[in-house]
Amino acid sequence: MEQIRADKLTLGYGRKDVVKAVDLSIHKGEFLSIIGPSGVGKSTLLMGINATTSILGGSLNVLGQDVSSIRNGDLKALRSKIGVIFQGFNLVSRLSVLDNIASGMLHRKPLLSAIFKHYTEQQYEEIYEYMKVVGIEEEALSRCDRLSGGQKQRVAIARAIAQHPEIILADEPISSLDPVSARSVLETLRNANEKYGITVVANLHQLEYAREFCSRVIGMNSGRIVYDGPPERLCQATVEQIYCSHTSREQQNTGSFHFPFSPAAAAA
Ligand SMILES: Nc1ncnc2c1ncn2[C@@H]1O[C@H](COP(=O)(O)OP(=O)(O)OP(=O)(O)O)[C@@H](O)[C@H]1O
Ligand SMILES: [Mg+2]
């Protein structure tokens, strides 16, 4: 089932176009990563799916809604079906793991029970299930500011799952994590994808992880999609096309660039 469809979609800020005439079709249950150099429009495209960046041209349909003409009520309903995960976790640090995960259920709970953090037995059971899916049940009552980065990101994933989303958008979910934590976060996203059939679209800077975890990779450069296919077909020449042409332009501006992956892994 097609969940996201972009036709000649142009997104940007003010009159500046950042994502340029992109065609894209994403189906339920895909685990997809968007890769590419810094500044090419990956976050702009991801947040466009969540209807937070302006459509300057073309069309975008997400979960059956035409995003360019969406009304406020429908927009709220659409966003409730999309979980968003950020590099910086965006948890309420002084609240416990349990309360943070429960906040993902807000749109499904009466306001007063949300304010007084009153959960029914069924809700406790549900939250516990999500804790087990992300492997954080032993920290259920810990304050989130006492957790490691990897644990925080797993709580953020559990909170997103608690939202009962159709889609999870993850903007660089592992960029601030060490390799072991990064891997456990991606495994957790894969669990959510496989167990609940949630479509996952993640911006990643680490090509090795995109190859290992994702069924499909989109390579972006200068606001355009220059590769769209399975990770196995990503050959060295394509990787260079994704990263290098933008690089030379970036270098003129910044004077420096570092490959975000190991060339050995890319050639493998
Ligand atoms: N809120 C904004 N207002 C104006 N321009 C913006 C805004 N956000 C991003 N841009 C510009 O849009 C372009 C693409 O930014 P975007 O954040 O989508 O890139 P990215 O590929 O996600 O980069 P990175 O890998 O560094 O996160 C950049 O030139 C950036 O300066
Ligand atoms: Mg970004």
pLDDT beneath 50, residues of the chain: 247-268
pTM of the model: 0.88
Give residue limits of the domains in the chain: 92-164
Crossing angle of helices 179-196 and 149-162, rounded to 10°? 10
- Measured in angstroms, how far is the CA atom of residue 79 from the centroid of ligand 1? 21
What is the per-residue pLDDT for 108?
Answer: 67
Q: Are strands 65-66 and 224-229 parallel, antiparallel or unpaired?
A: unpaired
Q: What confidence score (pLDDT) does residue 214 get?
A: 96
Residue 110 phi/psi, 5-degree rounding, is -60, 145
Which pLDDT score is estimated for 253? 41
Which tens digit of pLDDT belongs to each residue from 234-265? 999 999 989 975 544 444 444 333 344 443 44
**Which residue lies with its CA nearest to atom 18 of ligand 1?**
41
| Three-class SS state of 219 | strand
Residue 19 Cα to ligand 1 middle (Å): 10
End-to-end CA distance of the chain: 33
Q: Name the nearest CA neighbour of 39 among 10, 9, 60, 19.
A: 19
Question: What is the distance between the alpha carbons of residues 7 and 49, in angstroms, rounded to a whole number?
Answer: 13
Q: How many CA atoms lie within 13 A of 266 on its CB side?
A: 18
Specify the pLDDT at position 257.
38
Ligand 1 binding pocket includes 42 (Cβ within 6 Å): yes
Residue with CA closest to ligand 1 atom 9: 44
Residue 118: predicted pLDDT: 76
Do 167 and 3 contact (CB within 8 A), yes or no?
A: yes
- Contact 44 CB / ligand 1 (< 6 Å): yes
How far lies 37's CA from each of 68, 222, 241, 254, in Å? 27, 9, 11, 13
Residue type, 45: L
E-assigned strands of the chain? Answer: 2-13, 16-27, 31-35, 54-62, 65-66, 82-86, 167-171, 199-203, 216-221, 224-229
Going by the DSSP 8-state scheme, the letter that residue 1 receives in this structure is -
pLDDT digits (tens, 9 = 90+) for 98-129: 999 998 987 766 555 555 667 888 889 999 99
Distance 112 CA to ligand 2 centre (A): 36
Measured in whole angstroms, the distance separating CA 128 from the mean position of its chain's CA atoms is: 23
- Ligand 1 lined by 40 (C-beta under 6 Å): yes
CA distances to 47, 94, 236, 237, 257 from 86, rounded to whole Å, are: 11, 18, 29, 30, 24
